[in-house]
Amino acid sequence: MAVFTGAGVAIVTPFNEDESINYDRLDELIDYHCNNGTDSIIICGTTGESATMTEEEHMECVKFAIERTKGRLPVIAGTGSNCTRTAIDMSKEAVEDGADGLLLVTPYYNKATQAGLIAHYTAVAKEAKAPIIMYSVASRTGCNIEPATAAELVKNVENIVGIKEASGNISQITKIMSLTDGKIDLYSGNDDQIVPLLALGAKGVISVLSNVAPKETHDICAKFFAGDIKGSTELQLKAIPLIEQLFCEVNPIPVKKAMQLTGVDCGPLRMPMTELTPEHTEALAQAMKDFGIQLA
């Protein structure tokens, strides 16, 4: 059984003005998602600015999300690292704290060969006994999970169950599904490709859009699963202009601004992220209004 089906939110991490984690606001966000159609919470991913957190902050944030969600939704902890030992240690701790699954991005900067990826993921899976979703996003990491590598890992390592595919390469994704006979939990890592990946057998999406439009993102998946392909497609296409604006600058710069525009202030970005430009802010606000999101 998949860790979740539908729309999982790659939740932002709210900060106080001194850039410490704003746990009160995070608590509010978790409640909001539990009550507005979100199907899973992915904590400390790219959108959560995990790259700027200390390991202590990272694990405190994971533990808090698990405790505050209280089993209402599955919680998937982002515990990837470019150091295999660090990924193992954080993954084990997240599992001990009660994470329902782990999201493990490929090693970044130092990267890895495909053999290195197999060794890396196998080593983490051996010590962290929870369902693992691999995360392939070479545009950020410089390291792609090739279809044959994904297939080998899913077939040979029991608790490696899925992949978040953010390559944007439909041919690659099709090959993954072919080589695994569809026996891999595929999640779209791109909000503009939810329906195409659902058509290939995906279980859902790990979504940035869900931060500001949780019900609509959930409905794209729910309608598809219910056989309303036309309704699902219409929602997907309606969301495209907003999705484009949510990625007009590096994620999570625009989505944090989008939340602020709705009256939910999640505080500053941690450097090297900088605030959204005025021009992009104006375009984002218009796209949100056109989509039907009420601004503050």
> Across 11-152, where does the E strand assignment appear?
40-43, 75-78, 101-105, 132-136
* Residue located via tokens 């390991």: 55
Say if CB 43 and CB 103 are below 8 A apart.
no
Looking at 135, 223, 256, 257, which residue is catalytic?
A: 135
Is 164 tagged catalytic?
A: yes
Using CA atoms, how far apart are residues 118 and 114, in angstroms rounded to an integer? 6
3-state secondary structure of 224: helix
Is 135 tagged catalytic?
A: yes
Secondary structure letter of residue 275 according to DSSP: P
Looking at 63, 121, 164, 203, which residue is catalytic?
A: 164
Secondary structure letter of residue 20 according to DSSP: S
Using CA atoms, how far apart are residues 254 and 289, in angstroms rounded to an integer? 15
Residue 237's contacts (CB-CB under 8 Å, 6 or more residues apart) are none
Which residues are tagged catalytic? 135, 164
